[in-house]
Structure 1
């Protein structure tokens, strides 16, 4: 069978036809894709502990430092859906390669930056490259492994990679900043990305949506109005939320931007309901497990990324940990997540997505709330080791969320479904960090106004923000139990039939 762009799909191929790369050794291809995913996940937080150094070396104004993180988050979260659908239509390996090349080139430019403005622009291009890499990579993984135990194993490892990427990013940022210098945060991407680009055509298979009837024109119909409205809505929403802690949640600029994002999102829904080839087929939301997994993924991003952000500030500003020490502390979360990845994958296969997801969010939320007891003059072993080890169970959420978001999804929608779950987590993270920052700052200012010491005021603000993060995490538990179904081939097939039997 031939794909839209003339590449051969091994399913149904004539006997004796050489198999495309990656189809005979899918785990080798998976390893390369997972490394690329890990690289983009690490880059979300790798610069956090280096921000003070960047500010000094590149002469950043204090108020502009956040843009080093925000520029990446805006383009990353804003273009994920578009990246996923483009990968479906143009070829997933092709899109993965293009995104990886852009990400690697932008990383090199970041390392060579001599001004803050140039660094911020290049960070935005990094995010754009990551928005192409992630959904393409995940949809390739989905299509390399048939639904069932083998795919669950692959997606289990994939979820563990995502869970550990954020915490290892903080560690890598601290180590490289201290021992090599801040440019090596980005040189690391250049080395990994360059090697991956050399190997990708050898080990990763191409896959492209084959339209019904094999019509090229039908298979490559685009939805430009849908792309403009949803990308505009996501970019405006992420930008408004990221700036709200600085300009105020009730400021006119924040309200106008959020209202504009809402209008564009409403327009997107109307467009998708009427489009012949929609960017995001609304029938996907008839898959109850997909919809529930995305809802949990959003709450997971809001709680866990906000927790890492606040926890990093607490260790550096209150306990006065160095960047390296902060990174080593977070390593406990990452290592716990890696150890629990295997049991999580087994439980998902033998029990259900819903139960593992709910258990993971319960333990993660409880760990975050435990961290609210850390005092202003505490220590790691006495006050942080327990909460950090417990929140390592976040792997038990990342893994079932990754699996549940693709249950019953057909090959033609693999890219967009992958982009959707990535978007949910990234938008959740942007909102969670912004809300946590606002809560912490407001509480700290109030305590300072009442004459409290600076360390006590900062700690009080961080505690209140962690309460919010923990409660958001626990709120995902009933969502998982009510909206997510158990993972079985029968249920997946039933959901897929229900989704595809009706028009978009």
Structure 2
């Protein structure tokens, strides 16, 4: 049902109706792109998003062969994946600030170029320590590419309906990367060798870099309020503090899956991380707002806080796959139906799906319970992801597009890291006492509780009137 309070979609001619971005001199430079050029760039940005998730799932099939050839112990093999995820999530914020303060074109091209170099080198290493280091550096390079791609995307697609569709497709390519990563990685391991998983990433990066140099318009220099040095706007102290806090937090929840939540290094990392995070937010209130990595006013933008909490959910809800890609095309619905109801619909799908999966405890229940559960859950998680992105950029100034893109992607990564660790711990602890499907069912009941909390929070705290008054 359409929300009568939702503003009408503005035409291309000047109109007082609100748009998704605030095209002020502080926002991304708006250039005239032909339709062919715009959609070619969308494909390029989608490939970068695809490589983000591909860099994780493609290695699941390759880990046994890599462990055997390099002598990697079972407990150490998790760092082939975790090293990338840890640095990717941790360096998103500084990447977003660089995109907003400096040049998003250079940030994007540089990030993809360095990603190609590190991926190429990863295929030639023969020992575990260089591999772990390269995987961590690959995560930093990928973190440079994603927020800058978001910044460029909202500038290339200033018209609201097209922007919604572009953001949805951009996010959907992450789901495609999750599934195709598993398939392509398995094909390389089976018919070639594990280094080709890395070399494939390097090969895909080449056309992305080459086309971006010529197709992305020159970005105008951004002025700093008061005429100060740009580097001061990066908030290096604050960003470094939060980055270290995130590294420690993700390290803790990743390690908990193997060493347990009661181990000293997990507890110490969590405590230090929480203290540093609290220190970061206190520090941000003590410096000028235009020099803060996350200006305090960000959390008071209409619905920003509840949307940030919602952004933790899609990758926390684990079953998500290529079947969810068509849902990413529903972005234009946000101009006919208020995002609140779309997000509630997506969360409701996840709740129903989780209940079905909790009862899929025997082979005969695959088709009536598990299959529809995965389909509904994947669709619901992608629905939440797509319309959270659209809603959060609708309420955010365009001059903060890179930073907000980093915050959203950071929330997704945190949700994924925490979700996998907690769900794995619940499943393992239950299976120690009860055989069969009890552990898996318990993990789904836990996810049901998280989904219900998200649903209630969205229902209560998302304010339609505030958003539409913007």
The answer to whether the superposition gives a TM-score over 0.5 is: yes
Alignment of 1:99 onto 2:86:
no
Shift of 1:462: 2.5
Q: Distance in 2 between matches of 1:214 and 1:44?
A: 43
Structure-2 change in CA distance of 1:369 and 1:109 (3 Å): farther
**Count of residue pairs the alignment pairs up:** 444
Q: Distance in 1 between matches of 2:454 and 2:192?
A: 40
Q: Distance in 1 between matches of 2:34 and 2:53?
A: 23
TM-score, normalising length: structure 2: 0.87
* Residues 259-308 of structure 1: per-residue CA shift (max 9 Å, x gap): 1001111111111112221111111111133222211011222223xx46
Unaligned stretches of 5+ in structure 1? 12-18, 309-332, 496-504
Please name the residue that 2:322 is paired with. Answer: 334
Q: How does 1:371-410 map to 2 (within 5 A)?
A: 371-375=357-361, 384-393=370-379, 394-410=381-397
Aligned partners of 1:302 and 1:429 also within 8 Å:
yes
Aligned partner of 1:301 among 289, 299, 315: 315
* Residues 129-184 of structure 1: per-residue CA shift (max 9 Å, x gap): 11111111011111222262221111121222233332332233333322333222
Q: How does 1:432-443 map to 2 (within 5 A)?
A: 432-443=419-430
Alignment of 1:134 onto 2:182:
no
Please name the residue that 1:229 is paired with. Answer: 241
Partner secondary structure for residue 243 of structure 2:
helix
Q: Distance in 1 between matches of 2:116 and 2:66?
A: 20
Aligned partners of 1:84 and 1:415 also within 8 Å:
yes
Aligned partners of 1:408 and 1:493 also within 8 Å:
no
Please name the residue that 2:412 is paired with. Answer: 425
Aligned partners of 1:108 and 1:190 also within 8 Å:
yes
Aligned partners of 1:78 and 1:232 also within 8 Å:
yes
Structure-2 change in CA distance of 1:220 and 1:3 (3 Å): farther
Aligned partners of 1:225 and 1:271 also within 8 Å:
no
Structure-2 change in CA distance of 1:102 and 1:380 (3 Å): farther
Structure-2 change in CA distance of 1:396 and 1:10 (3 Å): closer
Structure-2 change in CA distance of 1:2 and 1:425 (3 Å): closer
Structure-2 change in CA distance of 1:100 and 1:379 (3 Å): farther
* Residues 338-371 of structure 1: per-residue CA shift (max 9 Å, x gap): 22333x2232221021111111122123223322
Q: Which moved more, 1:222-231 or 1:429-438?
A: 222-231
Structure-2 change in CA distance of 1:435 and 1:196 (3 Å): same
Please name the residue that 1:312 is paired with. Answer: none
Unaligned stretches of 5+ in structure 2? 1-22
Q: Distance in 2 between matches of 1:213 and 1:118?
A: 43
Q: Distance in 2 between matches of 1:202 and 1:186?
A: 26
Aligned partners of 1:354 and 1:484 also within 8 Å:
yes
Aligned partner of 1:124 among 129, 136, 155: 136
Q: Distance in 2 between matches of 1:381 and 1:110?
A: 41
Shift of 1:389: 1.7
Q: Which moved more, 1:148-157 or 1:60-69?
A: 148-157
Aligned partners of 1:99 and 1:132 also within 8 Å:
yes
Shift of 1:22: 7.6
Aligned partners of 2:284 and 2:296 also within 8 Å:
yes
Please name the residue that 1:196 is paired with. Answer: 208
Shift of 1:473: 2.9
Aligned partner of 1:289 among 280, 303, 307: 303
Shift of 1:379: 8.6
Aligned partner of 2:356 among 370, 383, 386: 370
Please name the residue that 2:346 is paired with. Answer: 360
Structure-2 change in CA distance of 1:285 and 1:269 (3 Å): same
* Residues 65-94 of structure 1: per-residue CA shift (max 9 Å, x gap): 111111011101111111100111121011
CA RMSD of aligned residues (A): 2.7
Aligned partners of 1:209 and 1:219 also within 8 Å:
no
Shift of 1:208: 6.1
Alignment of 1:244 onto 2:260:
no
Aligned partner of 1:88 among 71, 96, 100: 100
Shift of 1:388: 2.1
Shift of 1:192: 0.7
Aligned partners of 2:302 and 2:395 also within 8 Å:
no
TM-score, normalising length: structure 1: 0.81
